[in-house]
Amino acid sequence: MADTAEIGVIGGSGFYSLLEDVHEVKVDTPYGAPSDSIFLAEVSGRRVAFLPRHGRRHTIPPHRINYRANVWALRSLGVAAVISPCAAGSLARAVKPGDFVVCDQFVDRTSGRADTFFDGPIVTHISAAETYDPVLRRLAIETIRDHGIDVHEHGTVVVIQGPRFSTKAESKWFSDAGWEVINMTQYPEAWLCRELGMAVVNISLITDYDAGVLEGTDAVTAHDVLEVFSANAERIQKVVLDLIGRFPEDLGTLGAVEALGPTRGDGHAIADEDIRLFETGL
């Protein structure tokens, strides 16, 4: 199997462990080593690259993940669209543990993370208004419904630094703002995918109510999260593998690369010699 792929999945090792003829490759990047090797396989006739976000043995905490290396590694293999499933907490009573949320917005509350490829000399400003691809979101919602899972079609995920969970005051603050989901990894992961011209879709698997959302409930623990996520792991695995087969045949129609066109911030017209970072070294 050639070391190329068109679709990427950033998640746990459970996805590729279900498949046959999985090919493991190590990828070097200008940003250091990714979280782990990348595992290549064929799903529904599509070439797919699976990358364990926290490493195959879950040894990398969210604030220490090399997000730029992970995303660059996928892009270097030819990936044009990424599925980014994650465990997440609920900030809204209507979003229950066990539900899936297909997020359409994020709020960044992290600090100190390397969160851009565009450090110059080409000054680049990309719109984050629609980070999550609407076509892939629609396909994800349809797939989740077809599997009989309660799904929320919209949701804002607030991304906290970790590794600690929120205080009750922080949790109430986020909930009062009207946000639905809380997580530690969607930023800058999803955003960096967009910076390299890859369409991205998130599926948040709700494992708990965040502290302070429901009065009188116990604060979330890591054990609680793992217990619920493990119980629902098979559901998210089946959804993701099914979703891959529903992706558009031509991923270029999603327009993720074209969205990077009008992003220069120095006022100059784009010239032939204006080679963008995501097109170099790959």
Is residue 210 part of the annotated active site? The answer reads yes
Is residue 242 part of the annotated active site? The answer reads no
Q: How many residues are there in the chain?
A: 282
Please report, to the nearest 10 degrees, the dihedral formed by the alpha carbons of residues 163, 166, 170, 174 taken in order: 90
80, with CB counted inside 10 A (0-12, 13-18, 19+), is buried
What is the distance between the alpha carbons of residues 180 and 93, in angstroms, rounded to a whole number? 9
Amino acid at 276: R
Q: Does the residue 124 lie in any domain?
A: yes
The model carries a pTM of 0.91
Are β-strands 81-90 and 181-183 bridged in parallel, bridged antiparallel, or unpaired?
antiparallel
Are β-strands 38-43 and 105-109 bridged in parallel, bridged antiparallel, or unpaired?
unpaired
Q: Does the residue 2 lie in any domain?
A: no
162-177 as b/e: b if 16+ CB within 10 A? beebbeeebbbbbbee
- Taking 50 as the pLDDT cut, the residues of the chain under it are none
Amino acid at 32: G
What are 93's two structure tokens?
């009573």
Amino acid at 50: F
Q: Does the residue 1 lie in any domain?
A: no
pLDDT of residue 217: 59
Where is 142: in which H helix or E strand?
helix 134-146
Instruction: Tell me the per-residue pLDDT of 243-261, one tens digit each, with 9 for 90 and over.
Output: 999 999 999 999 998 888 7
Catalytic residue from among 208, 218, 224, 242: 208
Nearest to 179 by CA among 64, 85, 91: 91
Catalytic residue from among 210, 218, 224, 242: 210
pLDDT of residue 267: 57
Where is 239: in which H helix or E strand?
helix 222-244
pLDDT of residue 123: 79
Domain with 199, as residue range(s), is 7-268
CATH assignment of the domain containing 24: 3.40.50.1580
pLDDT of residue 180: 97
| 148: β partners | none
pLDDT of residue 13: 66
3-state secondary structure of 221: coil
pLDDT of residue 4: 95
Q: Does the residue 99 lie in any domain?
A: yes
Q: Does the residue 184 lie in any domain?
A: yes
Q: Does the residue 274 lie in any domain?
A: no
Q: Does the residue 144 lie in any domain?
A: yes
Could you give the number of structural domains in the chain? 1
What is the distance between the alpha carbons of residues 53 and 12, in angstroms, rounded to a whole number? 6
Q: Does the residue 219 lie in any domain?
A: yes
